[in-house]
Structure 1
Amino acid sequence: MQPVDFAVIAAAGLGSRLGYGIPKCMLEIGGSTLLSKLIDTLTPLVRRIHVVVGYREEMIVDLVARRHRDVVLVRNPQFRTTNTAQSMALGARGCHGKVLFLDGDLLIEPESLQAFVTEAACHPLLIGVTPSSSENAVYVTTRTQARGETLVTGFTRTQATPLEWANVFAGPADALDGEVRYVFNRLEQQLPIPCSELNLREVDTVADLSEARRFDLHLRKQ
């Protein structure tokens, strides 16, 4: 077993599909930003958290200075011409062992993320999946082995399936080095890979944001 010691949160992108003019991780839901919710959930689970910043980085720098002093900020000055995979690879520099990689636009049930991190200690690579709900989903195909382990066997944008790629995975610190395509394109090269289901919502569009707010209300009522 190899526990997850580091988390890398990609928060450098423009968030152009949402069109609010701020990093998506700085959206407030239920009185707190998505980024703060992620950091607060991750703090007891990993030894160190890196947040990759780029677009309007001053907003995230100010939040971290006020609320999350132990978080390491990593600048991606090429955020306009690079993608999430490149930001994540940049954020993982200086890390060693196993790293949890995740997007900054996710609202994740804390118990769900804790279970994922625990499960990740048992696998060299673990992919996060979630029931399909987002507008621009990358769907996953899976198969379940005789001993009950579920494996991701493929990614697709055209064939709707019950599960989608959650934009979360755990693996070695150099897992995305040199990748210029999407994160799932790198993972495709090593399929099949074990997966674990997360209870989350991704915020890419206005409709996604409305769904995330409903999801947050549900979580706070539990």
Structure 2
Amino acid sequence: MSSTTTAVILAAGMGTRMKSRLPKAMQRLGNRPMIWHLIETARQIVDRIVVVIGPGMDELAQQVSPHETVIQYDRLGTGHAAKIGVDILHDGRAIILYADNPLLTANTMQRLLNAHDEGHALSLLGMRPVVAGHYGRIVTRVDGQVERIVEFKDASEAERSITLCNAGMMCADVTHLKNWLNNITPENAQNEYYLTDIVALAAKQGPVSCVEGTEEELAGINSRAELAQAENRLQQRLRQNALEQGATLIDPSSIFLDPDTIIARDVVIEPNVFIGPGVTLEEGCVIRAFSHLEGCLVKKGATIGPYARLRPGTVCRENSHIGNFVELKNTDLGVGSKVNHLTYLGDTKVGKMSNIGAGSITCNYDGVFKHRTTIGNNCFIGSNSVMVAPVQIEDDAMTAAGSVITQAVPSGALAFGRARQENKAGKGRALQQALQKKKEQG
């Protein structure tokens, strides 16, 4: 068995059918660039990752860092791209992967490696899609071993009737791959070097096996429509995993999850919830409908929403409550504290058992710098309070409704930060009549 395994990911394609300035590998899937998913899977299996990119793909190179990149300056086909990636390797075995197959699982990748280790010169992945379409066809011998792959454009009618299709990925020893890739020619309909042509060369050297996977896992992504289909498949996978971990998803099809979402048992997620990167939901918390979460921690027993937004850096501690149309950014909400309606807290720390009234906000940004607001334990912030940071409200303090708080509020104090009300007798009616007359006069 080879001691070192390298994944060579082919990612130089622009994906013209995507109609985008971005390379195909950078199209978004599950909140991440498409290639992110494949790299995360490969990291579980291989020792080294090399990504073949095209010229000018600096953003893609940055995305895959710290993994190595090599540049395919001339796009002469998949065989040419694979050769560029394999040429920098010295020994061991290599898995050749495609960036537009982001849903490949670690289990299937391991099966591909196992097939190679069982003594096959080459192992490859195949599938039987519902509609074979333009996939290359895998031609097998009577004994089930692979004889060759024929691309759709070069296939005869008989070959096009084959249901076993090439999924693209394959595994072999580096020394063998180098030899085969040096011996393929561009004698085909596309005048390109096909990676698939190495299969016939490998079959002359030893047995070639095909590991079959599902279309849901192995189908390539070449258009916006196929990207949308892949998103649906990814979300189904993530939702199923959440359900198996003991979460309740009331309407799974309406809930959007991120691949790194951590969901404990007895979490309840209501319909139309969007969860972005970096979210942890602890046991028994409830995420109510139409809420948007990213970069946050929701502790045991907390309730979020409906229509709430939690932004990065936010922690909602045990049994806290975020209500409708509340936004928290980089805020630590204490145990049992409540922010029930129409409120924004940014760069804020709130202690235990405090209540933030409706319409209250922290003014945390002065146009240049961010400033913090600290609210202690057992505080009551009156409705429509404006807390101008940096400011501290100590334990057991209150602010009167409609106050603008610009100075520290001592423990136990009641802060009034508003002008005294003055009533002008008859002035309201007179002003209304004057305005109405002005309106009638045009």
TM-score range, shorter chain: 0.7 to 0.9
| Corresponding residue SS for 1:140 | strand
2:126 to 129, 139, 154: 129
Residue 171 of structure 1, CA deviation? 1.3
Corresponding position of 1:177: 182
Residue of structure 1 equivalent to 2:400: none
- Asked if 1:75 is matched to 2:71, the reply is yes
Deviations 1:35-59 (A, max 9, x none): 1111111112111110011154112
Alignment match of 1:197 (pick from 192, 209, 212) = 212
Corresponding position of 2:109: 113
Bigger Cα Rg: 2
Provide the secondary structure at the position in 2 that maps to 1:17. Answer: helix
**2:46 alignment partner in structure 1:** 46
The equivalent residue for 1:210 is: 228
- Whole-angstrom CA distance in 1 between matches of 2:229 and 2:135: 14
Q: Which position in structure 2 is the counterpart of 1:141?
A: 139
Q: Aligned pair count? A: 212
Quick one: which of 186, 201, 207 aligns to 2:198?
186
Contact 1:14-1:55 at 8 Å conserved across structures: no
User: In structure 2, which of residues 87, 90, 97 is the aligned counterpart of residue 93 of structure 1?
Assistant: 87
Matches of 2:220 and 2:3 in 1, distance apart?
Answer: 25
CA distance in 1, matches of 2:77, 2:28: 24
Higher RCO (CA 8 Å, separation ≥ 6 residues): 1
User: Alpha carbon RMSD of aligned pairs, Å?
Assistant: 2.3
- 1:11 Cα deviation after fit: 0.7
What's the secondary structure of 2:135's corresponding residue? coil
Q: Partners of 1:210 and 1:11 in 2: how far apart? A: 20
Partner in structure 1 of residue 165 of structure 2 = 164
Distance 2:138 2:54 in 1: 29
Structure 2 unaligned runs (5+)?
187-192, 241-442
Unaligned 5+ segments in structure 1 are none
TM-score, scaled to structure 1: 0.84
Q: Distance in 2 between matches of 1:134 and 1:162?
A: 7
- Cα–Cα, structure 1 residues 219 and 6, in superposed 2: closer, same or farther, change >3 Å? same
What are the residue-to-residue correspondences of 1:20-35 with 2, within 5 Å? 20-35=20-35
CA spacing shift, 1:52–1:42, aligned 2, 3 Å: same
Contact 1:53 1:73 in 2 (8 A): yes
